[in-house]
Amino acid sequence: MGCCSGRCMLMFFCALQLITAVERQVFDFLGYQWAPILVNFLHVIVVILGLFGTVQYKPRYVVLYIVWTMFWVTWNVFICCLYLDLGGLSKDSNYLSLGLSSYRSWWKDNGPGCENRNLPTTRWQHLESPALVSELGCVLEYQYIEVMHSALQLFISALGFVFACYVVNIFNEEEDTYLYK
């Protein structure tokens, strides 16, 4: 059998999820965020199984991918809420490091356009102006980078979910046609 458009699209979205998950995994390792490291690791395994199921016509693996995608979407909504301080969650909590370390998002210290975050020896910007310097800014704050990563994962996962449902439907239809021949 050739590659129907649904199967090809699901393989494409699985490959995209693998690339973005590995990229995210690297930055979670750099920030010592242990919960996302574990979840990303499981995500990579399940996406590989979903890809395998698509290529080898194994609907059980694709269904596993569908179920996992629902969890993955929930996880990414949690990450978005955490970094946006929604629903009683706080980005300053130690949920993601599992309380094992005081590390936080790698992007907090290494974001794009961040100036040196070392505070000046005097905490006053100018001696004439008593404006206290608490932290020097970045072009894009770290929590928005984390939210964009999760939003990208949500978008790719939603499309992968749709195509996985379509592929399972195609597999079931093909199986039914063989049973009636």
Please give the chain's pLDDT, 181 residues, in tens: 445 678 888 999 999 999 999 998 988 888 778 888 899 999 999 999 999 998 888 889 999 999 999 999 999 999 999 989 888 888 877 777 666 666 567 777 777 777 655 555 554 555 555 554 445 567 788 888 889 999 999 999 999 999 999 999 988 887 656 555 5
> Could you give the C-alpha distances from 173 to 67, 159, 161, 177, in angstroms and in order?
20, 21, 18, 6
Of 12, 22, 13, 59, the C-alpha closest to 43 is: 22
Please state whether the predicted TM-score (pTM) of the whole model is above 0.75.
yes
Q: Which residue bears the tokens 């609907």?
A: 59
Closest CA to 23 of 10, 34, 7, 36: 36
